[in-house]
Every structure is written in structure tokens, then in C-alpha cells.
Amino acid sequence: MRMKKPFLSLLTVVGLSVSLLAGCGNGGEIKSTTTGGNAAASSDQVKFNFYFTGSQNVKDLWDSLEPMFEKQHPDIDVNLVYIPSGTGAEPTYDRIVAAKKAGKGSGDIDLYEDGITSVAQGTKDGIWEQLNEKDIPNLSKVDTDTMKDVDNFAVPYRSSAVVLAYDSSKISNPPTTLDELLQWIKANPQQFAYNDPSTGGSGSSFVQTIVYKDLPEEDIHNSDPAIMEKWDGGFDTLKEIGPYVYGQGIYPKKNQGTLDLLMNGEVSLIPAWSDMVLQQLNEGLLPDTIKMQQITPGFNGGPTYLMVNQESDKKEAINEFLNFVLSPEAQEVIVDKMNGFPGIELSNMSQEMQNKFDGVAEGFRTFNIGDLGTEINKRWQSDVAAK
């Protein structure tokens, strides 16, 4: 078919493509206008952006902490940016790195919340600010070993631990040590499940606990790649229990994957995050018969950290905020909302709180193996999953 008006259609084609291409570039323009807006607002008030990620409970937590803080410090405006988990926490980190590399300052991300992997990665990339007690007095309330683990590059403001969640209608004596657990798994085929360690912390905690089972205690604070050679025994154990776990080697995705199996009764024992179990018990998603048990030595619990972007120019306000987060009153809110452990040492909390955690607080270990966590996941994928 021949076009009657070639130039008209040519114009249309050009116009359409130009607008399409222009669409690609729009993101940048929008961003620059927001930057301008921020600068204008900060003339009387210091405003900084706090990026955090996680499930709904994390958002609820910050939604209640933010007004508390702003009431005490009317001159500081905390802008909460919530990124629902699994939708883009990594791009946030990548944005910080990209902004630094491009010499664009903080990239409008002043404070960031994430797990140990980001702390380690960021320390390596040199994007986190090293913190000290002079600027943040309440830092002295945090366990010094935990601070040493991260070289003061991050603030552990709360922790949750991995525990064993079990169905008490099927199990009356849950295992209390790792050896008992391994025996139990073999004695009750297909009744135990742990999730793919690369998709959720509870499975990764189980895998790491087994891999470091026979290694000296100090190795869990060591990110030296030389340790990798000592992992063989642990991986052999994991391969050995493979045929005894759910579906003879099915590892569901995400922390919720195993909880779902426990919920509908397909398995009766799983490693799970204490806060997730408590929350879902409260909401009636898990039956009342689900109970928790920590083993000795414990699964690893993980603190969640707050990191300050080195390039941020609002550090004073951020330090003020961090100091507030580590105060006993804020920590109490954290414990209530998250069903987790406080970030500061228990002796700083009220007697009532101390009683609540009596005996449980010692229940978890903090693993700090840095990049080795990724190496474990990689090796798990090729050795255990790919049988």
C-alpha cells in the first residue's frame, strides 16, 4: 500500500518516537525538581530522608517513632521513605553508591536501614559514616562487641532471632540442641522444612548454624575467606539431611514459605523468625498450637542496622535522631511493635522489660561473617539444592 501523505505520517512517526524517548529521560527531571523543593523547605527546618525496608510491621514502627521524635525536636523533619520488602531495597543501596560515584553527594538518601550484608558491602564501598559516642551518647548503651563487629559504621537498633517454631499438638518435646534437632529431622522424615537460604534469613540462619556447628566460636565473627575450607563438614551434614526434609529436598522460597507449610500442617518443625511467629500468632494466622523453642547454642539472630550516608550534609540532625532511637523509651516501642529484642543492652531498659526477656536474650548469637554469607548461599545452591 502506498501512503498518500508520506510527510504527515513521517511527522507522526518522528513525533511518537521523540515523545517515547523523552519519556525515558523524564525520571531525572522529576528528581531534580524534588531536590529543589527540599532545599527550599530546609531553610527553617532540617529535613533528611530516611529509607527503610521491611514488612508492614517495620513501617508501623517508624510511623509511631517519627512523631515521638519530631515532638521532641521540632526543628528536625524526618522524611520516611518506605520501600515494601522485595520491591527495591537493593536499588536504594545502588542509588547511594551511584550518587557517590557520580559525585552527586548523598543522592537524597541520608539514613538507610538494612541488615549486616549492606553494612559490610557499604563499608567495603566506603559509603557509610563512622559513628562515635561523642555525637551519639546513647551509643554507649549498645553492646560493644556488636559495635566492634561493624567497626562503628552502623547502629544496631533492634534484633530478632531465629528460633524453632513447632506444632505442639504433634511434638511434645522439641529439640533443644543442634544435635537433637538433627536426630529429630532424621527420625521424622518430611516433617522439617527450612527455606532456601538466599531468599530469607531463617533458612540462611539454619544453614549457617549447621555450617559453623563444629567450628570454634570466634569464627562466626570472622569474614576471612580462608574459613571457607572448613565448611565441608557442615555442607556434608546438610546434604545428609536433604532426603529427610520436606518433600525429600524441597526448600520453599522466603521466610513465609516455611511458615505456610507449618500453618497448613504439612510440616511440624521449622526455623523461623521470632517476630514473624509472634506477629502471626497475634493475628490468628498461625494456630495457637504453634510454639517456639530456642536451641543452645542459638541460631543466629540478626540485628537490623541504621547506616548514615557519608555524603549526607545533615549529619547533626541524623545523629540527634539516632540518639533518640537508642533511648530506652524508643527502644520500648520497638520491643512492643516488633516483638523483637532491643538494640541496646537490657540493663538500660526498665525492670519490666528486663523481666520480659529473662533467659531469652542470651538465646541468640550474632553472626558476622560478611561476604561469606553470600558464599554460603552460592555453595548451598550448587552443593545442596542441586544435589
Partner 1 sequence: MSKEARQSITGLAMVLPSFAILLIVVIIPIVQSFIMSLSNGSGGYDLSRYTYLFTDKGMRSNIVFTLRVTAITCVAVILVSYTLAIYMRFNQGPIVNLIRKTYMIPLFIPGVIATYGLINLLGNHGWLARMLEVVGITLPRIIFDEKGIIIANLWFNIPFTTMLLSSALSGIPSSIIESAKDVGVGRLTLFTRFIFPLSYKTFLVALTFVFMGVIGSFTAPYLIGANSPQMLGVSMQQVFSVFQEREQAAAIAFFSFLLCSVLGAFYIRSMAEEEKAKI
Per DSSP, 102 falls in state T
Question: Which of 84, 253, 289, 356 is in the footprint of partner 1 by CB under 8 A?
Answer: 253
User: Shortest approach of partner 1 to residue 308 CB, angstroms?
Assistant: 23
CB atoms within 10 A of CB 84: 13
Q: What are phi and psi of 242, to 5 degrees?
A: -45, -50
β-pair type (76-84, 300-308): unpaired
Write each residue from 131 to 160 as x if it is in contact with partner 1 (CB under 8 A), else as -, in one continuous string. ------------------------------
Between residues 264 and 347, which has the closer beta carbon with respect to partner 1? 264
CB of 216 to partner 1, least distance (A): 27
Alpha carbon 285 to its chain centroid, in Å, reads 22
**Per-residue mark of binding to partner 1, 100-119 (x: CB under 8 A):** --------------------
Within 216-245, the residues that bind partner 1 by CB under 8 A are: none
Site for partner 1 in 346-375 (CB under 8 A): 374
d(CA 176, CA 43): 58
**Least distance CB 198 / partner 1 (angstroms):** 4
Amino acid at 8: L
- Which stretch in 34-42, 155-163, 194-202, 301-309 sits in contact with partner 1 by CB under 8 A? 194-202
Segment 6-65, which members bind partner 1 (CB under 8 A)? 6-7, 9-10, 13-14, 16-18, 20-21, 24
**SS3 of residue 149 by DSSP:** helix
Alpha-carbon gap, residue 182 to 221, rounded angstroms: 24
Residues 262-281, interacting with partner 1 (CB under 8 A): 264-266
Q: Identify whether the C-beta of residue 353 lies closer than 8 Å to the C-beta of residue 194.
A: no
Q: How far is the CB of 214 from partner 1 (least distance, A)?
A: 25
Tell me: does residue 247 bind partner 1 (CB under 8 A): yes
Count of residues binding partner 1 (CB under 8 A)?
33
Q: Is 169 in the site for partner 1 (CB under 8 A)?
A: no
Q: Own/partner pairs for 232-241, CB < 8 Å, 24+ apart?
A: 234/210, 235/211, 235/379, 235/380, 235/383, 235/384, 237/182, 237/210, 237/213, 238/207, 238/210, 238/211, 238/380, 238/383, 238/384, 239/383, 239/384, 239/387, 241/182, 241/185, 241/186, 241/192
Question: Which residue of 60, 63, 90, 224 would you call a contact of partner 1, by CB under 8 A?
Answer: 90
Stretch that binds partner 1, among 76-84, 143-151, 259-267, 278-286 (CB under 8 A): 259-267
Shortest distance, position 27 Cβ to partner 1, whole Å: 14
Listed residue (86, 115, 110) closest to 99, CA to CA:
110
The residue range among 67-75, 131-139, 193-201, 348-356 that interacts with partner 1, by the rule CB under 8 A, is 193-201
All cell numbers assigned to 173: 518435646
Let me know the angle formed at the C-alpha of 56 by 51 and 60, rounded to the nearest 5 degrees.
Answer: 75
Which residues contact partner 1 by CB under 8 A? 6-7, 9-10, 13-14, 16-18, 20-21, 24, 90, 196, 198-199, 247, 249-253, 264-266, 374, 377-378, 381-382, 385-387
